[in-house]
Structure 1
Amino acid sequence: MARVLVTRPEPGASVTAKRLRALGHEAIVLPLSEIRALDPVLPDPSAIDAVAATSASAFRHLKPECAATFRQKACFTVGARTAQAAGQAGFADVRSSDADASALAAMLVATLPAKSRILYLCGCVRRPEFEAGVEAGGMLCLPVEIYDTTFSPPEATVTESMSAGPPDIVLVYSARTAEVLRDMMSHPDFASSLRNARFLCLSEAVARGLGTLVEGRTYWSDEPDEEALFALLSRP
């Protein structure tokens, strides 16, 4: 079995590590980011036609009393993990795209009437594709930042994590994390510890964040969820 470096933030990192160990792998937990909840001002529910989110973190960090005011709205998500988080937050009508944020925007445009008003539960750090797609489809996108993400661990944490030996596989969950890894690999010691590792990414967009440093060793899942990502673990 493999030594697998998990770069996603907590609490997801520990959940992923537990899954890996159950499969017989050795998990190295090295979160390259930290998520903190914000205290946003949400619009009146009567001004919203539907809710959307592209990350499960939006629902994990949404206060229950805030979620309660929107639970009767249709909720559109990307991937099974985000859909599950929406259901756990109390949303009953959850519709999920198994592709990416652009595909989710296309689903909304195809499903809802023109000029619908979409409450987009999101993070401060995000890509523009969803908002652009919704607005290009003639709808109003109202982004509300539910959480913020800071990146890069202390150097001591990196050294400690690698002390038992280099990983065989690196799991990468976001484009920004991929960019952090790319920057970290500009340091010879860190690059050396990853010289033989395979990089398994949640999507092609995430893989692009690594640049050309790991060409020939980068793979991405067909669907942006952890089930599809784990399916790559057995890939030679």
Structure 2
Amino acid sequence: MKRRVLVTRPEPGASATGAKLEKEGFAPILLPLTRIVSLEPDIPQPLETYDALVVTSPNAVRHIPQAVIAVARALPLFAVGEATGETATQVGFTDVRAAGGTAILLAELIGRDMAAGARLLHLAAVQRTRGFIEAISALDMSMDIAEVYSAEEVSYPTDFVKGAVGPEAIWGAPVLSERAGQILSRLIIDTRMQQQFELTRFFCISAKVARALAPLTNATTFISHEPSEESVLELLLRHAGN
């Protein structure tokens, strides 16, 4: 019997991850817990007044308006990781600088590359990582925020969730954000599906994400070596013996 793996990231990522898992012989169950909604950003100042742009996810890049890209494509763009940086290059930015995958590493990269007093524009989600703004402020730089998308929680009827997951045990679940871990924990408890997840291996992108699963008593969590989806899936494959 194929190992059943729950995929909770939003589309289009959920289908992409599901296809990778299916190719490796798993039985993916797609249950996106958030949906990405594009927003019209309110940019506080003219783009020409900023020294650099900051993005912390590929979704942020995908939702930058074309009018912004046309004006700001040559500005330094600091991306949280390689996947975000690659997406920025694909949409037309020409000076992309990728950090190692966490907000802390991103702040460190900005601190090395930009002078004190620099003015940054963070093209962001409504839901943001705690501590990043404070890390930038400590560098004696200012950062405005323009929200380009929202990751809205998807509400499913209990019967739908139980039907999608089924009565059999879930072997594994990649968890790629703190918020996803929080929503997934609450969903499992609220729908009383602890039995299906009693032996589930949760493959987490970071220690912070693993801690978000704390409401699931005795949850078995594993943390990837690097904060990227690729590293999480490699970890999953190693545990499966693939």
Change (3 A) 1:97 1:215: farther
**Identity fraction in percent:** 33
Give the Å deviation of 1:212: 5.2
| Worse-matched range after superposition: 158-167 or 111-120 | 158-167
The residue that corresponds to 2:173 in the other structure is 170
| Worse-matched range after superposition: 137-146 or 185-194 | 185-194
Return the TM-score normalized by structure 2: 0.91
Q: Equivalent of 2:185, from 168, 182, 186?
A: 182
The residue that corresponds to 2:164 in the other structure is 161
Q: Equivalent of 1:64, from 40, 63, 66?
A: 66
Aligned pairs (5 A) from 1:112-131: 112-131=114-133
Q: Is the 8 A contact 1:34 1:149 kept in 2?
A: yes
The residue that corresponds to 2:19 in the other structure is 18
Which AA in structure 2 matches 1:12? G
Query: SS in structure 2 opposite 1:46?
Result: helix
Which AA in structure 2 matches 1:28? I
Q: Is the 8 A contact 1:167 1:197 kept in 2?
A: yes
Aligned equivalents of 1:39, 1:162: Cα separation in 2: 35
Q: Is the 8 A contact 1:30 1:157 kept in 2?
A: no
The residue that corresponds to 1:231 in the other structure is 234
Give the Å deviation of 1:186: 2.3
Q: How many residues align?
A: 236
The residue that corresponds to 1:9 in the other structure is 10
| Worse-matched range after superposition: 196-205 or 59-68 | 59-68
Q: Is the 8 A contact 1:78 1:224 kept in 2?
A: no
Q: Is the 8 A contact 1:151 1:177 kept in 2?
A: no
Give the Å deviation of 1:187: 3.4
Q: Equivalent of 1:138, from 137, 140, 157?
A: 140
Change (3 A) 1:23 1:113: same
Change (3 A) 1:192 1:87: same
Per-residue CA distance 1:190-222 (angstroms, 9 max, x = gap): 211111110011111111111152546101212
Query: SS in structure 2 opposite 1:104?
Result: helix
Aligned equivalents of 2:82, 2:3: Cα separation in 1: 26
Which AA in structure 2 matches 1:25? F
Q: Is the 8 A contact 1:4 1:27 kept in 2?
A: yes
Give the Å deviation of 1:12: 0.8
Which AA in structure 1 matches 2:141? M
- The runs of 5 or more residues in structure 2 that have no matched partner are none
Give the Å deviation of 1:41: 2.4
Per-residue CA distance 1:81-138 (angstroms, 9 max, x = gap): 1111111221111111114101101110121111101111110111222211111110
| Worse-matched range after superposition: 204-213 or 120-129 | 204-213
Q: Equivalent of 2:104, from 77, 89, 102?
A: 102
Return the TM-score normalized by structure 1: 0.93
Query: SS in structure 2 opposite 1:76?
Result: strand
Aligned equivalents of 1:146, 1:5: Cα separation in 2: 28
Per-residue CA distance 1:150-192 (angstroms, 9 max, x = gap): 2143124312211273320011111111111121232363211
Aligned equivalents of 1:79, 1:221: Cα separation in 2: 15
Aligned equivalents of 1:33, 1:157: Cα separation in 2: 16
The residue that corresponds to 1:30 in the other structure is 31
Give the Å deviation of 1:30: 0.5
Are 1:211 and 2:236 counterparts? no
Q: Equivalent of 2:76, from 65, 68, 74?
A: 74
Q: Is the 8 A contact 2:198 2:219 kept in 1?
A: no
CA RMSD of aligned residues (A): 1.7
Aligned equivalents of 1:76, 1:64: Cα separation in 2: 18
Q: Is the 8 A contact 1:50 1:118 kept in 2?
A: yes
Q: Is the 8 A contact 2:127 2:151 kept in 1?
A: yes
